[in-house]
Amino acid sequence: MHVPFTRLALALGTVALLVGSAGPVQTAEPPKDIVTTAVEAGSFTTLAKALAAAGLVETLKGPGPFTVFAPTDDAFAKLPPGTLEALIADKAKLTKVLTYHVVPGTVMAADVVKLSSAKTVQGQSVTIDTRGGVKVDNANVVKTDIVATNGVIHVIDAVILPQ
Q: Where are the alpha helices (DSSP H) in the chain?
A: 5-21, 34-41, 45-54, 57-61, 73-77, 83-89, 91-99, 109-112
User: Which carries the bigger pLDDT value, residue 145 or residue 12?
Assistant: 145
Give the pLDDT of residue 30: 62
Burial 1-35 (b: 16+ CB within 10 A, else e): eeeeeeeeeeeeeeeeeeeeeeeeeeeeeeebbbb
Tens-digit pLDDT profile for residues 19-33: 344 444 444 666 799
State the burial class of residue 110 (Cβ atoms within 10 Å of its Cβ: 0-12, 13-18, 19+).
Answer: exposed
Give the pLDDT of residue 26: 47
Whether the predicted pLDDT of 13 surpasses 60: no
Contact 53, 46 (CB under 8 A): no
Tens-digit pLDDT profile for residues 88-134: 999 999 999 999 999 999 999 999 889 999 999 999 999 999 998 99
pTM check: above 0.85 = no
Domain boundaries, the chain: 31-156
Tens-digit pLDDT profile for residues 50-84: 999 999 999 999 999 999 999 999 999 999 999 99
Q: Domain 31-156, what fold?
A: FAS1 domain (2.30.180)
Give the pLDDT of residue 140: 97
